[in-house]
Structure 1
C-alpha cells in the first residue's frame, strides 16, 4: 500500500506542478482555465489525500507535510467555493480576489512540498516559496483590484 501511495502522491504532485502555470496564465473565463483548473484541483486533492496516507506510515518525519496537506485542502475547498458560488456580497468581481488568493496558496503549497522534499527539509525550502509566492499573489491581487475600480476622471476647476 505504501508503494501505491507514493506513486499516487508523486503523480499528483508532478501533475499539479505542471498544470499550475498554464492554469495561472490561461484567460480567466470559462474554457481552458476551467478545464485545466479542474484537473489541477483533482491533482491537489489526490496529493493531499495520498499525503495523509503517507503521514500514517511515518508521522514524526512527515508532520510538516501533513500540515501542508491540511492547509492545501482548506485553500482548495475555499477557492473552489468562491469560483462556484461567486457571492454577490463581494461585488461583481470580488469573488475573484478570494479565488485568486486561495488557489494561489495551493500553488505555493505544491512548490513548498516539492522543495522541502527534494532538499530533505531545508529551512529555506520551507520559507522561500511562501515569501515569493505571497509577493506574486499580492501583485496579482493589486491588479485585480485596480481592474474592478470604476474609472475616475480628474477635472480642474473652471478658469474665470
Structure 2
C-alpha cells in the first residue's frame, strides 16, 4: 500500500505542477480555465489524501507533509467554494480575490513540496516558495482590486 500511495502522490504532484501555470495563464472564463482547473483540483485532492496516507506510515518524519496536505486541501475547498458560489455579499469581484488567493496558495504548496523533496528538506525550500508566491499573489490581487466593478453595457433601442 505504501508504494501505491507514493505513486499516487508523485503522479498527483507532477500533474499539479504541470497544470498550475496553464491554469494561471488561461483566460478567466468558462472553457480552458475551468477544464484545466478541475483536473488541477483532482490532482490537489490526490496529493493531499496520499500525503495523509504516507504520514500514517512515518508520522514523526512526515508531519510536515501532513500539515502541507491539510493546508492544500483547505485552500482548495475554499477556492472552489468561492468559484462556485460567487457570493455577492463580497462585492462585485470580491469572490475572485478570495478564489485567486486560495488557489494561488495551493500552487505555493505544490511548489513547496517539490522544493522540499528536491532539496532533502532544506529550510530555504520550505520558506522561499511562500515568500515569492505571496508576493505574486499580492501583486495579482492588487491588479484585480484595481479593475473595479464589472460594468455591463446597456443598449437602448430607440
The TM-score normalised by the length of structure 1 is 0.92
How far is the alpha carbon of 1:149 from its aligned partner?
A: 5.3
Partner of 1:41: 41
CA distance in structure 2 between the partners assigned to 1:136 and 1:23 by the alignment: 15
CA distance in structure 1 between the partners assigned to 2:148 and 2:13 by the alignment: 34
How far is the alpha carbon of 1:20 from its aligned partner?
A: 0.1
Partner of 1:132: 132
Structure 2 residue 24 is matched with structure 1 residue 24:
yes
**Over aligned residues, Cα RMSD in angstroms?**
1.2
CA distance in structure 2 between the partners assigned to 1:149 and 1:23 by the alignment: 23
CA distance in structure 2 between the partners assigned to 1:18 and 1:110 by the alignment: 10
SS at match of 2:147: helix
Counterparts of 1:1-150 in structure 2, within 5 Å, are 1-148=1-148
SS at match of 1:148: coil
The TM-score normalised by the length of structure 2 is 0.93
CA distance in structure 1 between the partners assigned to 2:52 and 2:117 by the alignment: 15
Which has the greater radius of gyration? 1
Partner of 2:156: none
The 10-residue stretch of structure 1 (101-110 or 113-122) with the greater mean CA deviation from structure 2: 113-122
Partner of 1:156: none
Unaligned runs of 5+ in 1: 151-160
CA distance in structure 2 between the partners assigned to 1:148 and 1:60 by the alignment: 48
Aligned residues of 2:48 and 2:70 also touching (Cα < 8 A): yes
